[in-house]
Structure 1
Amino acid sequence: MFSLSLQVKLILSFVLVIFIPVVLFSWYTLNEESAKTMKELMKNNENVLEVEKINIENNIELMGWTAQLALSNREMNKYLQIQQTQDAAYVLHIKKVVVNSFQYFLYNNPRIANVRLFTDNLHVNEIWPVILQESRIQDKSWHDGVMRNSGMPWWEIQGDVGLTGLPSEPSSDEPFMTYLQEYKFPDNATHNGILEISMTVSNFFSRTFSAVQDTNSQLIIVARDGQLFSLKDSPVFGQHGAEELMNSVKLTSNADRQTVRFKVNGQSYLALQSYIPSIDVHLVNMVSLADTMKDINHSRVRYIVLISLLAAFLVLLSYSMQAMILRRLKALRESMQQVRSGNFNVELPAINGTDEVGELGYHYRRLILKINELIQEQAARQAAGKEAELRALKNQIDSHFLYNTLENVKALAEIEEQYLISDIMTSLGSMMRYSMEWNRDHVMLSDEIQQVENYVSIMNIRYDGRLDLRLSIAPECLKQESLKMSLQPTVENAIKHGMRRMHSSDGKLLLTISAAMRDQACVIEITDSGCGIPEEKVGLLNRMLRMEESAYQHARQSFVRKDNQDSNGIGLRNVDQRLVMSYGVEYGIRIESAEGSYTRVIMTLPYRVMGGGADIYD
């Protein structure tokens, strides 16, 4: 990328910023449209499945109602239950009065094809086509199933319901859905016969065999024995038959709707199935996705063509516009090349305009003029610089002069046997050397402790020895890395406030400094035995440590007015900010206090050991 020209980079960035999002948006939109199309397709075919199920439920109800009507006819039941052979007159009476009226009443619905009562009562004479002997159907495959069902309805799809030996028996090439039910004598224990109600499958499954069909979907009926019933000339079966397609569908006995998508020889299909337990039949809506996928592919091609044309147009437009913009930049580049070779008297290009390029040309011209001015000033500045160096050498104060002076005062004090003054000079000299020799920001904790000891020694002169410093430093913390001059401001703050509100009987202030390891951190605690701080003020002080500057200044003024003090934790805030900048927000200081008892400042540092001039991080 760095070797490409700016114009090429701009075009590539244009493509990345505009073209790629357009492609991604188009891809997302196309997928959404495809998903929407598939969702609508599934919804429509689910509706077809539900409509057919409603038709089936209506036909089940119709045939069940017809069965109840047939078995509730008293004259018919009386005739089927006779215990002796009747004369011809009685049989003709049954034929004329009972069977004809029975037949007329039951056949008022044209969807019912047959209503037949098969009886094993040998005293009953057959009255075609309603009353027949059960021996005519005992060889049927479904007979044993009806008998095992003990009076409950049994549904069977039969290819032919005709019976041999009957006159004028209607023949049909169309299968029938038959309702079969055993009926018994009044004792409800003795078998009397079997009721059969038939309806053609085209009437029972009206949506499946409807002449008006969607060319992309077709319902398939799967019987108990696995036999398939459907419109064989449906366009869905144009390339693959129903049997071949059903081999890819695993039937389930779940009454909920199941959906499966599969391919056969590259052709996509969608199968929606539903099991109807009442008639033990699977209803499958087989949907061909050929037209749908073709439409989706056409949409995809249209999107690709449109995006390609748009990309080509945008690239040409971008190239033309950038060529006009970069023409002025090329003039600037040629001028800069001459300046680089050392020619500061180059003729500056006339680049006009108020845009960024025009502004760049204006500042470039000012830059060349400024460079020429600086070249002229540099010669005079070099002479003045030599003179300034000599003055600086003469006026420089050597810090060693101060150390030597303190050492001389210490020696004189010892000669005069003023040992207190000698000790003060020793502590003061150590403090000055420690604070003035600032070679690095981090020191060992032991160095900070030594500085505090020197400071307390000097402060004890002021307070007549009333300061009692006690140390409890764990050995592993002696070489702990610490920020230089982080402990002394904290101790100074403790002495200042602790001595101001002294409450001990002996007038002494006990200062305790402890350091220990806690969870991969070094925790340093500085505790004084002063009067402590009220709880609400402790909370305010802790919040002030991390406040924004404006909020801190406001809180500081409020704190000074309420407490009537000239100090408000500035030193502690500075130390906390240094610790946060050096180690992170999880480290720093925190204040604890019990009014009338103590005040404790807790400083938390990451455990880092210094040794040999290099840091060792644990």
Structure 2
Amino acid sequence: MRFPLLGWRQKLILTSLLCLVLPSVITLIVTGLYTKGELINKAITKAEQSLEVAELYESNIMKDMINAFNSIQYDSEMITQLRIGLKKYQGNNSKKIDFFSFKAIAERLDRITFFGGQTYVTILLPGGLYFSNYSTYNNSLAFMYEEPWFKELSTEPMNTTRWLGVQKNYIHNDADRSPNLVTIVRTFKLSNSTPNAYIILSKPEEQFRQIFAKYAADQTMMLLDADGKIISHTNSERVGQVFQEKRPSPDSHEVVTLNGTNYIAVTHPLSYADWSMLSLTRYESVTNKVGVWFNSVVGLQVVFFLLFAIVLLYFLNQWTKPIMKLARTASKVEKGFLEERSHVKGSDEVGHLGFAFDRMIDRFVEMIKQIEMEQNRKRIVELELLQAQVNPHFLFNTLNSIRLKAIMKGENEIGEIIGSLSTLLRMTINRNNEFIPLHEEADTVKHYMQLMNYRHHEGVELTVNLASDTLLEAIPRFTLQPLVENAYIHGLRQKQGEISISAWKQDDYLMIEIKDNGIGMTEDRIQEIMNGAPISGIGLKNVNERLKIIYGAPFAMNLISPPGEGLSIVLRIPLEGKEEKGNVSSDSGR
């Protein structure tokens, strides 16, 4: 019994069956990965929850410090007393401070309450006068006027808040108990004419550290500034150092290595000062719960899985090779290489698909050739339709006889008119050449203008200015005459005026301009035509469509109509590639 060749669907079924041969391998691997992933996710979730709780307290401390700024800066009595104090200080040549005179200021500073415990408040005024809610005995604060942040903030506007982060405790009495302070500075003014004054708020760093220790006993937590400098840490020895390792972005995690130990790092941003909190959880403390035995089993099963994957990939490669070949052929055909074929054969679905694809490309190439032939025939038919419906040779000969007889009788004007009509008739009779030199097309237009002036009794002046290197350039027959007729009838309204024809070469293009000084065209109408509005002039429409068919995309027709200066039609005709086909948007028409 012969079995038919396996189809694509049967091959997929066979692959699925092969995958079921080792269910225990896949089950163990998936279970191990899932278990480890779940443990890591739980550790990350726990770290995020701890950071959120800590962030609540940290934010309350920072918010309380901001509120303290506002309570001082916007206390009108406090500002008034500071102004009075500064005035007395500036009027005292000895620059000695009478603390009893500033008792009211000190009492107001002492009455300010803070969340989280001790907070040091310092107010620096211009000229070296300062106030605080702590004792400054043997503890001069004059060094603050030389701090880099002081010089930077001296030029900043009022209400500029600078988060200085962690710094050494500048209060000698408490330096042993609290070696580090977290400090914030804000600028304010006592009056518009005085330099900046400063409010400095500092909190002992251990207030932040206590929060970490309380809510994350099994984690290492720290508070970082925007540059990675450690502001607070569960280990006080790390305060002031820079966290060099890569920090995870918010709402994500990273595995970092510190002193040879891997940690799961989770970041939580704060709403103030672009600071953030970082939690580190030892990776081993999370993953060792899976068990050594499970890791051994998983390792063994991974070996079998790799062997199975190699075999599976080999068969998949053999089965998918025809499809990949078909895809590469389709990509080349898309780029224009229509001679490419897949040559994929077989009795299954892929073989039928390859055969159908190659047949489709063959038919596509045949259709392109047929379309090109039809376009060529259409172009010739349109040119013939533009010429006379009949071939009046007898009329041409008769007109020549009449012209000679009129000249012999002295009717030179009538003879010239009949000669122009005869020349124009000759152009319609001669259908041998689709392209004629530019100077012959210009001569045809001159005869046409002579007939039109005689017919309408108007003195429309035609000026022809063709560059010498353009005279012999070939253009399609009857290209200029319809455009001149359009200018005569629609632009000048069959009245006196001027029409000019100019030609020159620009790069690889022949530029032809037909210009009149008639009524012109509004900018709105030009924009409508540029956007695809119907072209009302049959001559313009015919010329535009014919030249698009002949020259394709390189051809362009542009309209230029300055106010009060008539209309200029500029044709851009490529000097080579007359047989290129294509579609291009029309620019104009009356």
TM-score tier, shorter chain, comes to 0.3 to 0.5
| Structure 2 length-normalised TM | 0.40
Q: Which has the larger radius of gyration?
A: 1
| Structure 1 length-normalised TM | 0.38
